[in-house]
Chains A and B, each alone.
Chain A
Amino acid sequence: MDTSFSQVAWLIPLFPFVAFLLLLAFGRGQRTLGVLLGSISSFAGLVLSILVLIEHMSDGTKYYQYSFKWLDFDGLTMNAGYEVTNLTALMLVVVTLVSFLVNVYSAGYMKGDERISVFYSYVALFSFSMLGLVLADNMLTLYIFWELVGVCSFLLVGFWFSKPEAKAAAKKAFIVTRIGDAGLLLGILLLYWYMPDHALDFVHIGNVFDGQTGIIAASVTTWIAILIFVGAVGKSGQFPLHVWLPDAMEGPTPISALIHAATMVAAGVYLVARTFDIFQASQTAMDVVAYIGGFTAIFAATIGVAQNDIKRILAYSTVSQLGYMMMALGLGSMTGGIFHLFTHAFFKALLFLGAGSVIHAVHTQNIQEMGGLSAKMKITTWTFGIGTLALSGIPPFSGFWSKDMILNTALHEKPVLFAVGVAAAFFTAFYMSRLFFLVFMGKPKGEQHAHESPASMTIPLIILAVLAAASGFIQTPWNNTLGTWLTDGAEKEHGGAGIVMVISAAVGLLGLYLGWLVFVKGTIARDAISSRAPWLVRLLERKYYMDEIYEALLVRPLRGLGYLLNAIDEYIVDGLVQLVSGTAVWFGRGGTRVQNGQIQTYGVVTVLGLIVLLVALVGRRFW
């Protein structure tokens, strides 16, 4: 074969881009065009991605890279290009698959929204940007698409723009991720000036940092890694920049599944994986990544326990799982991070789409107002149940394998993080069982006319459920397929996984059982904790007061400074100028007053002048 599929990988982002342009031009007032174009383009992308992935799995043309000079003048050459590695091939499939399913799902979910074609154009633009981000062969190109996915996320979060909450959430999402982006930008600036030949592409970065040949000083390496990680923190909702992600749930639910669960928020993890050589060159940076990840995992999981909005619970769960991924990367296991990204994309997209199906049926997001839906929504219940089990880490569902791998690594590298991970796993299982039992079990509350969603919504659910159940088998403790394939065999599986498997499965089951006891059986009263330690529940409900802290520490001082400077600008900066011009005017006024047409005044002035003159003349003699 002369041309491999990898060589035409640039077509994959092009499909949704064409769809976006067409929708932009002809989308007005169209209702079905969006569904059609969105689904077709993402399906085409999916097919091509799968072909690329197959090609990469069959050891033929392993790698392809192409770039052209994008910005070029004396003293600066910036390339733009794409490259297909095993990692990108895998990500391409994840993105196009979820994107395709979400496109299909939205046909049902967004039916009846008058701006459906706008919605599809945004989704298409997002798919384009996300695929561009995945394919990018250098930091600058990646950064460009990185920002573009951010803006698409912003647009889609604020899709229902009339709602004040949506507006606020969109703004927050953009600004908070922008803080991370500023860090990433600085990282790129550093990288540019310290890399030999100012090369920014991943191949060179890998070569330079790989052997740690001392080309770049250790402190600079640490700085670069940490700044890149700041970008990842913003995008992937890691502590302390996680605050935007739960609020972003104001967007349509399919978007939450696509952007805020499966693809864009994972871009941070992907970025760290892409530049993994830089991180590995600096132990400090690795530790930072690991501890931030671990902390985020437990931090968000505990918040998830006390939330009542179905989507917010899932959002905190996403934050927590992203923390797992970061932790894995920080512990040196790229395979673990990417593996969890891979499985998480399926089961979390599944959970969100399932949640969407529930919301579609009952028109509320508060789980306290739901109940007993299992009778009316069989498919949703079953698929959601599979998602819950996968997320809770119950064998043999996919989440178990990936979580197990991370915990196993943690046990070998940093036992503290192992404990954190196990605790987070317990909380995860608990809040998921709480969610599941409150929504699907018990007596129906509120909306009585709930019914199963249309086929366009349930079929994606079924496909995702299959993947969520089975996708974990590509990497098991006995079978290091993914690790070998991703890292060229550089990463070895840690041995002695048996005990970890037992612990993680046990913890997951314990969490589920506890949830069952509390919310179905009623053995333990629901207010067992809230009656004894109301402050604790309150603390969790208010998300550890993070929003209030930001308000007090950043927003208010900034606004105060703004008002202060505004006053200074108006009264001091402009006031000085007014003073200067005022003095001139005052002199002029004084002058006119003397010119009053009365001889006597003139006479006085003359005499005064004479006296001054005389005094000056006489006084000079005595000087």
Chain B
Amino acid sequence: MLADLPILSLITFSPLLGILVLLFLPKHRSRWLKATAIIATILPLLLSLWLYADYDSTKGGKAYEETATWLDVSLNKEAVGEVGSYQFELQYHMGVDGLSMPLLLLTAVVGVMAALASVHVKKRWKSFYIWFLLLEIGMLGVFLARDVFLFFVFFEMTLIPMFFLIGIWGYMNRERAANKFLLYNGIGSAIMLIAFVILVATAGFRAEQVPEKQQTNLSYCGSYEVITTNLTKADSYVNMSTEQTQGQENPFYLSERMRWVIFLLLLIAFGIKLPIFPFHTWMLRVHTEAPPSVVMIHSGVLLKMGAYGLLRFGVFMFPAVAEDWKVAIAILGVVNILYGAVLAVVQKEFKLVLAYSSISHMGIVLLGIASLNEIGLHGAIIQLISHGLISALLFLIVGSIYERTGSTELKDLGGLARSMPFISGILLTAGMASLGLPGLSGFIGEFLSLLGLFDSQQAVTCVAVLGVILTAVYVLRSILGITFGAMPEKLAAVRDARLIEAVPMITLLAFIVLIGVYPAVLTEPMKHGFDTLLQQLSEKAGR
């Protein structure tokens, strides 16, 4: 029954309802505005939970797919001779599979939690929530879009709201941070667009025979399925070199080197988002300057878009190239892990510690991707979800601590376990989850990623395990610095969490524990998600 509804579009655009209501609310009624926004984020959560319950991993997500023609541009027919039609198609194509299902849920959950955490916002609630909901639409769309251009549109849709959310509601240097964010991500998007355009112009080309009319329809399209099939099928024209076409020029042929270039472009584009080592500085600014609820979204979901894009467009489309590059990716991952961890050890600001820890944890995702086997890929996705939840929780706590103490400098904080035992307890648990304590979600992702990678790259894995130790060092240093030890005089009067703060904290922690204790909640929908990829990889290995 669910398949009859356009459920994916409903999920994606349900926050629009909230925006509509918000538009008609007076801008000083902060309570109403907040309530509306929270309800508007609960809508997609409920719908995606419904979808999760309905989703059957053995059948895949075909039943839920939605396709509609969005924009057709006719091209000059004379140029190609006798054809029925010759056009450039942009499709509205939404789909879900084992890869996007967990991330969709993550987005919906973190969305609600961040909306709840936005109670600390002090000004201009109306525009804040409108941007916030727009951002959520963009994020949901990114994970559901199945057309490269649609993906691009949603991807960009997250940039602009983020820019304003950082630039208006952030801390001291918010404008600079917002500029840096936009600049970096703009460059990333531009590179991504170049890669997409190349893909559409070559692998996106298709010729459809229409037997009843005795003619052929030619079109360029950005459909993910068309591009992937063309790229990976051995006898498709994209794989025909000039020798194979008897000397005839084949404008659609993608040579080995061209594929490398596209893969590299995608790696850079999504590497900026992820972020991969030399491209990470923008993200530090965002982590320190954006308001905590926005960082929850940013660190919790937006970074994951990078890994998702890398997997979906990089690895899934070019498994052979990924296979060639896997050592490089693994090394990048290890560099991320160690670099982030070592830097996190010496930071003086808690938000910076968390920012560098995000870099370190995203390195684990890269390891999982580089393993290119079932175990590691599962590990990478679980690590994404887990880090999303954990960092959302940590920044939620950062927001609450900042509200009370007015500082996130480690030297100003200490001994908070005495005055706020609840928040400190949650913080400690979140830290434990972050350093990969079994029983909490962080362990599963980390363990599976390392286990998967160990199969083919033992030396790299051994180095990566050093990160496990360093993670413990920086997590304990910072979190014990905040919760343990002597308490500065002026913090004696701070109060423990209010109900509105406690609810999202407990909810997020519950998810973290759930995944840690019973990982099947995530692995179940992910089953068969990597089948085609692994099949191609094994074919390549066989060849």
Interface residues of A (CB under 8 A from B): 70-76, 143-145, 147-148, 151, 158, 161-162, 164, 166-167, 170-171, 174-175, 178-179, 181-182, 185-186, 189-190, 192-193, 558-559, 561-563, 565-566, 569, 573-574, 576-577, 581
Contact = CB atoms under 8 A, between A and B. Distances in A.
Given A192-B451, A559-B346, A73 B484 contact: no
30 contacts: A70-B519, A71-B519, A71-B523, A72-B523, A73-B374, A74-B527, A76-B451, A144-B443, A151-B432, A158-B484, A162-B415, A162-B418, A162-B487, A164-B486, A171-B476, A171-B480, A175-B476, A178-B469, A178-B472, A179-B469, A182-B466, A182-B469, A185-B465, A186-B462, A558-B473, A559-B345, A565-B339, A566-B346, A566-B347, A573-B278
A562 B374 contact: no
B450 A185 contact: yes
A574 B443 CA distance: 32
B483 A161 contact: yes
A559 B483 CA distance: 22
Interface of B: 183, 278, 280-281, 339, 342-343, 345-347, 373-375, 378, 415, 417-418, 432, 437-439, 443-444, 447-448, 450-451, 454-455, 461-462, 465-466, 468-470, 472-473, 476-477, 480, 483-487, 519-520, 523, 526-528, 531
A496 B455 CA distance: 50
B480 A158 contact: yes
A189 B375 CA distance: 12
A164 B485 contact: yes
A583 to B, nearest CB: 13
A529 B529 CA distance: 72
Given A76-B448, A170-B480, 7 more contacts: A147-B437, A148-B439, A161-B418, A162-B487, A185-B450, A565-B339, A576-B278
A175 B526 CA distance: 34
Most chain B beta carbons < 10 A, residue from A70, A161, A170, A186: A161
Which applies to chain A's interface (DSSP): helix, strand, loop or mixed? helix
B469 A569 contact: no
A569 B439 contact: no
A145 B281 CA distance: 38
A186 B450 CA distance: 9
A171 B483 CA distance: 12
Contacts of A186: 461-462, 465
A308 B426 CA distance: 38
A422 to B, nearest CB: 37
A373 B308 CA distance: 68
A178 B520 CA distance: 27
Contacts of B415: 161-162
Most chain B beta carbons < 10 A, residue from A75, A143, A145: A75
Which applies to chain B's interface (DSSP): helix, strand, loop or mixed? helix
A148 B437 CA distance: 7
A158 B479 CA distance: 13
B35 to A, nearest CB: 29
A561 B469 contact: no
A63 to B, nearest CB: 26
B121 to A, nearest CB: 29
Most chain A beta carbons < 10 A, residue from B280, B375, B378, B455: B375
List the 8 shortest-distance A-B pairs measured between CB atoms, nearest first. Answer: A75-B374, A562-B346, A144-B438, A167-B484, A161-B484, A574-B281, A178-B472, A189-B454
A72 B520 contact: yes
A174 B485 contact: no
Nearest to B98: A73
A67 to B, nearest CB: 15
A71 B480 contact: no
Given A148-B438, A182-B469, A563-B346, A73 B523 contact: yes
Nearest to A143: B438
B486 A162 contact: yes
Contacts of B281: 569, 573-574, 577
Contacts of B451: 76, 189, 192
Contacts of B443: 144, 147
A2 B295 CA distance: 58
A558 B375 contact: no
A116 to B, nearest CB: 14
A189 B450 contact: yes
Contacts of B528: 74
Contact of A174 (B439, B448, B465, B472): B472
Contact of B469 (A72, A162, A171, A175): A175
B454 A193 contact: yes
Nearest to A577: B281
A162 B437 contact: no
Contacts of A72: 520, 523
A144 B476 contact: no
B454 to A, nearest CB: 4
Given A164-B486, A178-B468, A573-B278, A562 B345 contact: yes
Nearest to B465: A182
Contacts of A76: 374-375, 378, 448, 451
Contacts of A143: 438
B439 A581 contact: no
Nearest to B518: A70
Contacts of A145: 438
B480 to A, nearest CB: 5
Contact of A175 (B347, B472, B531): B472
Given A148-B437, A171-B477, A193-B455, A565 B484 contact: no
A512 B487 CA distance: 46
Given A175-B472, A565-B342, A144 B450 contact: no
Nearest to A559: B346
B417 A161 contact: yes
Contacts of A164: 485-486
Contacts of B438: 143-145, 147-148
Given A162-B418, A563-B346, A73 B472 contact: no
Contact of A562 (B342, B450, B485): B342
A181 B472 CA distance: 11
B349 to A, nearest CB: 12
B433 to A, nearest CB: 11
A189 B448 CA distance: 10
Contact of A561 (B342, B466, B485, B519): B342
A72 B519 CA distance: 9
B418 A74 contact: no
A74 B532 CA distance: 13
Contacts of A166: 484
Given A189-B461, A573-B278, A566 B343 contact: yes
A558 B474 CA distance: 11
B537 to A, nearest CB: 12
A190 B347 CA distance: 34
Given A174-B472, A182-B465, A558 B484 contact: no
B472 A144 contact: no
A196 B27 CA distance: 66
Contacts of B347: 566
Contacts of B485: 161-162, 164, 167
A558 to B, nearest CB: 7
Contacts of B487: 162
A577 B180 CA distance: 10
Contacts of A158: 480, 484
A602 to B, nearest CB: 32
B484 A170 contact: yes
A413 to B, nearest CB: 32
A566 B348 CA distance: 11
A185 B471 CA distance: 15
Contacts of A174: 472, 476
A70 B526 CA distance: 16
A493 B439 CA distance: 42
A147 B438 CA distance: 7
B441 to A, nearest CB: 12
Contacts of B483: 161
Most chain A beta carbons < 10 A, residue from B432, B476, B527: B476
Nearest to A555: B473
Most chain B beta carbons < 10 A, residue from A70, A185, A192, A193: A185
